[in-house]
Structure 1
Amino acid sequence: MKNRYYNPELKERAVRLSYQRENIKELADELGIGVERIYKPCKAANSATLPKPENPMPDDALEVKRPRKALKEKELEQEILKKAVHIFSKSDGRSMDP
């Protein structure tokens, strides 16, 4: 079986046409190439144009996030203590000791 060489211009053209067409199999038949010869360059083109992920959170944002998280934890603790005080003060004067 002979390996075929497809020049880069044909690959670029196939990629451009694949974005315009709905049926890639028909496009491959028109160009006289296999469907995988269109999918591979399309995948390569998509991965090459994707932006590289940036650092999702700069240091400044972390400096703000840490105190907010600590504040939220303290507020939760305070709320739990308030509920506990309310529950224990509701004993109607009865002693807790048996």
Structure 2
Amino acid sequence: MANQKRRSYSKEFKLDVIQQSYQRDNIRELADELGINPGLIYAWRSAYKNQSQQSFPGKGIPSRTPEEKELAELKKELADVRMERDILKKAMGIFTKNNG
């Protein structure tokens, strides 16, 4: 089994391919010209149709709405605060044992 490197495509490239795909009759022919799988074109078209402006954020990052981004940040901050609290509780327990 060959060790193939996964190719990545820029957002601009994907948008250009989507635009070309709507202007062409044969998507397989377009895919062959570009050296990509026709399934990619259909997947990119679907993603763009469903989330136009949020589609293709890059680097495998799931696209999120601003509210989802804020929620994720708040959840991370809450987890950090809880971890700090637990560390402080343990430290207090250790110091009160040694002094009591």
- TM-score normalised per structure 1: 0.47
- TM-score normalised per structure 2: 0.46
Greater helix percent: which structure?
2
